[in-house]
Amino acid sequence: MIEARFTGAELLLETGFEQGDLSIADGRIQGDGGDLKEVDLSGFRVLPGIVDLHGDGFERHVAPRRGALRDVGQGILATEAELASNGITTAWIAQFWSWEGGMRGPDFAERVFEAVAALQGSVPTDLHMQLRLETHLLDEFARAESIVALRGIDYVVFNDHLQHARLAEGRRPKQLTGQALKSGRSPEAHLALMQALHDRHDEVPSALDALGQRLVARGVRLGSHDDRTDEDRAAMRARGAHVAEFPETLDAARAARTAGDAVVMGAPNVMRAGSHKGNVSAHEIIREGLCDALASDYHYPAPRLAALSLVSEIGWTSAWRLVSEGPARVMGFKDRGRIELGMRADLLVLDAEDRVAMTVAGGVVSYASGPVATRLLQA
């Protein structure tokens, strides 16, 4: 753990950038740092560390090619290094618990959660787990609930990826063959499973109601994914899901905000200037003042890059809040997301070209490169 006084840098505070000194010790931002070693950060900017509440970019590390990496733990370790190199100091690893099978199936999910749990506390990045539960996988609810308790999973999000309209009409779902191959099933078997799950649609609401009640009682935060209407949001809110992840329409986002729920959008949506599925643009949600947080989704550099791209529109403080203080508040963390006395020492140092020069997570240097690394060693 580093104990130092950073001097000469521009610090992103509530009022914007100010030049000054910043002292950290015992993993916290301190007041008087006169006795600490001095590290000159002239020419650099220091910002609050990024809080990423939904990221599945780890998949490329845990399974780069089929059968290429059998030790999931090594993939999660590589993921942590990537998180740090992108200025992310707190991260939720978002893993499916789905009928889709393969890397999205319960068997693989258990391996991922075991690997994350084994690393928690032994790496600088504050790692958490998000379980993305498919709403129609009713027979696996009990198993999912058990793994939540076993691994201390603190965030569960409800998803529904079944193509109900096509299944109801007896039509072949899109991309069926490719999905079947990934699941290890034949297209016929995969279709039969999807149809069987769709046919149990009337059982889902009461099962979700009961599960949501039990998870909330356990202290688990709940969210929903891809809400499309205000009715969708209302139904999920009634189950205790007060986080709306990636709402597909402006109506759903407005319904969430009106009811006091949090709205999370994908940072890649900002970078693309729109959704790859044709849903509402994150820019529109942000312009309407409805967005509480941006998440990496499938690309860990995206939160930083998205915030930087928004600076010209909404300013540094508001843009950076979407990837730091905003997501921290959504997840109930009051000790991070701001550069303030007594806060956890989660910091991101940017160079003159806005590249990550150093990341500090909980007072531990998780990433450092170039001149900053040299200055640290020479201090």
Give per-residue pLDDT as tens, 258-305: 999 999 999 999 998 766 566 889 999 999 999 999 999 999 999 999
Element at 142 (helix H, strand E)? helix 141-151
More confident of the two residues 65 and 189: 189
pLDDT at 339 > cutoff 90: yes
Instruction: With a cut of 60, say whether residue 221 has pLDDT above it.
Output: yes
Helix (H) or strand (E) holding 105: none
In this structure, are strands 262-266 and 16-25 parallel, antiparallel, or unpaired? unpaired
Predicted local confidence at residue 34, as pLDDT: 73
357 or 69, which is more confident?
Answer: 357
Dist. CA 368–CA 363, nearest whole Å: 13
Separation in Å, CA 37 to CA 23, 103, 378: 9, 47, 10
Within 13 Å and on the Cβ side, how many CA atoms surround 28? 9
pLDDT digits (tens, 9 = 90+) for 14-25: 999 999 999 999
Identity of the amino acid at 108? F
- Annotated domain spans of the chain: 4-47+338-378, 49-330
CA distances in angstroms from 142 to 146, 149, 225, listed in the order given: 6, 11, 21
Examine the pLDDT at 67 and tell me if it is beyond 70.
Answer: no
pLDDT confidence of residue 280: 87
Q: pLDDT band at residue 65, thresholds of 50, 70 and 90?
A: low
Q: Which of 55, 63, 60, 125 is nearest to 94 (CA)?
A: 55
Q: Which fold has domain 49-330?
A: TIM Barrel (3.20.20)
Q: What is the CATH superfamily name and number for domain 4-47+338-378? A: Urease, subunit C, domain 1 (2.30.40.10)
Distance CA 344, CA 220 (A): 23
Q: How long, in residues, is the chain?
A: 379
- Label the pairing between strands 155-159 and 28-30: unpaired
- pLDDT(193) > 60: yes
Mean pLDDT of 176-185: 90
Least confident residue range of 26-30, 66-70, 190-194, 311-315: 66-70
Res 64: pLDDT: 67
For residue 182, what pLDDT is reported? 85
**Where does the pLDDT of residue 155 fall: very low under 50, low under 70, confident under 90, or very high at 90 and above?**
very high
